[in-house]
Amino acid sequence: MLEQNFLDKDELQKLFNIAFVGCSRGFVPEARTVFSKILEAVPDHRAARAGLAFTHIVVDDFAPADEILQGLLAEDPDDDDSRGFLVLSKFLQKDSDAVDVAMKEFRSLDSAGYRLASSLSEVTR
């Protein structure tokens, strides 16, 4: 088990990055384990919660992903990164109504989340 005082902020960030890249390359169970361990050590680590949601999205397990992301957005409506992942989830579910609603709720058109979500419209052109 990771302990919060065992790893500093930079080390946690490195673990997060490794897990995210691993998930993107198909190491989903391993990434999910890393995100879960980060959350054991730092339960309010928002990026790890979003990463855990991503591990569900990539395997089409949308209900838990949406639940995590909706929780993050309920805590912080300005969280465009979580909103971007939610748009990705809804896009993959072919829920265009939910995508349209979420696209109108972005706080910043310069955010990484908005760029992710808007790039999905490029896929459908």
114 pLDDT more than 50: yes
Q: How far is CA 57 from CA 2, 12, 48, 73, 92, in A?
A: 25, 22, 14, 17, 8
Q: What is the mean pLDDT of residues 73-92?
A: 96
Predicted confidence (pLDDT) per residue in 7-53, tens digit = 788 888 899 999 999 999 999 999 999 999 999 988 999 999 999 99
Instruction: Report the distance separating Cα 101 and Cα 46, nearest Å.
Output: 23
Quote the DSSP letter at residue 111.
S
pLDDT at 124: 58
pLDDT at 111: 87
6 pLDDT more than 60: yes
